[in-house]
Amino acid sequence: MMWRALRNLLRLIWVGWTLARFGALFPLENLPQAPALGVLARASLLVRRRRDARLRPGQRLAAALAALGPSFIKFGQSLATRSDLIGDEVSHDLARLQDRLPPFPFAVAKATIEAELAAPLTEIYASFDEVPVAAASIAQVHYAETHDGADVAVKVLRPGIEASFARDIDLFRWIAGILEHLLPSIRRLHPVEVVALFAEAVVIEMDMRMEAAAAAELAENFVGDPDFMVPSVDWQRTTRRVLTLERLHGHRPDDLEALHAAGHDPTEVLRKSACIFFNQVFRDGYFHADMHPGNVFILADGRVAPVDFGIMGRLDVKTRHFLADMLTGFLSGDYRRVAAVHFRAGYVPAHKSVDAFTQACRSIGEPILGRPLAEISLATLLAQLFRITEQFEMETQPQLLLLQKTMLVAEGVGRQVNDQVNIWELARPLIEQWMIENRSPQARVKQAAIDAAGLLERLPGLAERAEAAINDLADGGLRLHPDTVRRFSEAQQHRRWTTWPLWLTALVVLLVVALG
């Protein structure tokens, strides 16, 4: 435990110094629980690099995270979804943080492929382009051809990336634990849980087999769809560190000149994209969460085709229905309904005032009520809703944050393609049909019957567990396992050691800043 704290402390000092050099410690300026960190943040502006002086705070933070390496780039992209914490401007700047790194040598890629597939590269592929077409924080992509003449794209994991991410994720967990201890007010934001979800996503993204499975699941959901195409997976040439996919040929959705030259109507491309995204979110509850223009091709036949499946999102049926009811309430001006679905979902604690939350929802909804759908940003609406969460102790919903970020990117691309239309308006017929089938009074009655049948099936098991609990109490109470007692004792000891590293770090970095 002590060694972990010292290791992370040294790493944190380096991170703090890097942020200070870029003038990117501004998030610490107004922490009443830690005034020393505020002094440190303001002092860091004295040592920031001259060429960064004219950059916005968010741009300075993005530059610092890029300098800190792959895991911090990914963390910054995740942080971009939290406009409720960092503000719209910083969120916008972090959303533009590019996941690009210098490529690693071809010899390393060749060695990785041969080790993973246990054969010489020339036996695996008939030809292999030595120069990668893309290089990101986790992997890089090469084009190749198989011996049966198939064009493929080969994604190869960066060497040593697992150890690098493991080290930094441990640091993030350590910091999150300290923050939860020092700042009780942010516990509702679940920083430890957010880091855990980030770590889970990164672990999945670093296993090429998981990405291949994501592509296969997405393809299965859209079998027979005339507007959407997922590249097929070459499972024989896919392992934990190597992914081989069918190579696609097409144009970026934001390359208007190329789209027009190929005979595509950009607005029709937007309509297809909006319907595809809606079906992913509401029909399937499984959506591509990284649909920036570099990850999408428009094929010659007009189909929309994603090419990267490292970041995917899931929404269960309950969450999808919550979203539908909440958005319907906002767009119809029924703010009581908006508040009610939040309380019913358990997102707002029951002891809070429904009337006060209704008023807060009205403050968000009234500015958009009556405006054409083409002028309404649903991503911004969600961001504003998340911003009022502190007042009402609303629990953070990571899956909704990922959705909001994805919607923000989708709306941004839509405005680039045609700033006169709104992608949600283009998908209106599909949205209306889904609402009739899933959220109409008849659909609600049908769902209630299904839920009731499910409850009846679970009743025998619930009765058995209740009887077992009653018997335990009758036999002398519920006993704690000795390991549980030991963990409680260790937790008490741990609390004594969790606060000193942060204050020591602040002091050390402040001295470095002063002497710099």
Active site residues: 290
Residue 296 phi/psi, 5-degree rounding, is -135, 140
d(CA 342, CA 357): 9
Locate 250 and state its tokens.
């097409």
Q: Give just the sign of the alpha carbon dihedral 372, 378, 380, 382.
A: positive
DSSP secondary structure letters along 211-238: HHHHHHHHHHHTTT-TTB--PPB-GGG-
Sequence-distant (6+) residues with CB within 8 A of 314 are 285, 286, 287, 399
Sequence-distant (6+) residues with CB within 8 A of 56 are 89, 90, 93
Q: Which residue has the tokens 């741990």?
A: 494
DSSP secondary structure letters along 77-143: HHHTT-HHHH-HHHHHHHHT-----PPPPHHHHHHHHHHHHTS-HHHH-SEE-SS-SEE-SSEEEEE
Count CB neighbours of 481 within 10 A. 8
b/e sequence 389-407, b meaning 16+ C-beta within 10 Å: beebebebbbebbbbbbbb
Burial-class residue 148 by CB neighbours within 10 Å (0-12, 13-18, 19+). Answer: exposed
8 Å CB contact between 231 and 245? yes
Alpha carbon of 129 to those of 122, 123, 250, 306: distances in Å?
A: 12, 15, 19, 22
Query: Which residue type occupies 203?
Result: V
The widest CA-to-CA distance across the chain, in whole angstroms, is 80
